Amino acid sequence: MIAVLQRVSMARVVVAGQTVGEIGPGLLVLVCAEQGDTAAEGDKLLAKILKLRIFSDAQGKMNLSVQDMDGAGTVGGLLIVSQFTLAADVRGGNRPSFTAAAAPDEGRRLYDLFVEQARRAHPIVRTGQFAADMQVTLVNNGPVTIPLRIPPAVACAT
């Protein structure tokens, strides 16, 4: 799975003129399931996201995770948005190929599992709308933008 994290002061997703997800300080998580991904890759990705220390402590050092923010007096939110275009391959020309992305049904299943796990692990989780035309508004704090990739597990023949 692929994710791009943006540390935000606020983020919002609008679909057809209606806000479907919004957070204050926290992480905007753009996420893409790739062919071969399973729930295990989603679990690893979520664990990394929740523990990544990219928020400032009292001394201004990046030393707190989104979960640690609670101890600093603020509960950090997660706004999770599906974005299959993270799987874009532009090596062959100027028109991106998205063949590495999971098929839509499988992508939705893995996205839903990812969100479900996030809601079990974190108190503030909001989402976009899978496969919708979304307008995403954010204030990137820092700016801090981190790409993450958990490749599909490869079966080994013994």
Closest residue by Cα to residue 45 from 151, 127, 145, 154: 151
Catalytic site residues?
Answer: 83-85
Strand, coil or helix: 26: strand
Residue 68 tokens read as: 């640690």
* CB crowding 57-68: b at 16 or more within 10 Å, else e: eeeeeeebbbbb
